[in-house]
């Protein structure tokens, strides 16, 4: 028998493994260490699954659209409002704001515009279109 399965000299035979919560027959067969390793492997798999599930879920708001990049290339469909699941570590979700933002532009009075045809002035208001790029 291997020296690691012999009972310790200070304990009566069979009481060492019972104190650890492992029956004598399992400790004698060498299952005590294997069960701990199996427990750590299962714990690591559960932790990795929780991290990847947390990284895959994104919330796209009502006024946003989601553009998915897979390895840097744009996927053909955009994602609408709601919960968007992407493949973790492969896809990247970029949210695009679709709101119309208005800025106040004060009206100005210009005198003698050639379009008016007369000597009077005209009120000019401006309309500005801007396209914002992410990044």
Domain boundaries, the chain: 3-97
Q: Using alpha carbons, select from 101, 67, 98, 108 the residue that is nearest to residue 84.
A: 67
Is the full-model pTM beyond 0.85?
A: no
Please give the pLDDT value at position 27: 56
Q: Which whole-number Å values give the CA distances from 10 to 13, 15, 16, 68, in the listed order?
A: 9, 10, 9, 65
Please give the pLDDT value at position 52: 85
Cα–Cα distance between 80 and 60 in angstroms, integer? 7
Per-residue pLDDT 10s for the chain (135 aa) are: 555 655 555 545 544 445 555 555 555 556 667 888 888 999 999 999 888 888 888 999 999 999 999 999 999 988 999 999 898 889 999 999 998 888 777 766 665 555 555 555 666 666 666 777 765
Left if phi > 0, otherwise alpha if psi is -120 to 50, otherwise beta: which for 112? left
Please give the pLDDT value at position 33: 74
| Contacting residues for 36 by C-beta, under 8 A, at least 6 apart | none
Please give the pLDDT value at position 31: 62
Do 88 and 79 contact (CB within 8 A), yes or no? no
Q: Using alpha carbons, select from 122, 99, 102, 101 the residue that is nearest to residue 111.
A: 122
């Amino acid at each position: 028998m291997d020296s690691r399965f012999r009972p310790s000299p200070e304990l009566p035979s069979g009481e060492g493994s019972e104190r650890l919560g492992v029956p004598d027959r399992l400790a004698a067969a060498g299952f005590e260490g294997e069960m701990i390793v199996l427990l750590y492997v299962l714990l690591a798999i559960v932790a990795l699954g929780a991290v990847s599930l947390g990284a895959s879920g994104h919330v796209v708001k009502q006024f946003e659209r989601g553009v998915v990049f897979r390895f840097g290339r744009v996927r053909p469909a955009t994602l609408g409002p709601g919960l968007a699941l992407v493949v973790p570590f492969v896809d990247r979700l970029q949210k695009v704001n679709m709101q119309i933002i208005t800025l106040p532009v004060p009206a100005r009075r210009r005198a003698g515009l050639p379009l008016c045809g007369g000597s009077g002035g005209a009120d000019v208001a401006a309309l500005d279109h801007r396209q914002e790029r992410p990044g």
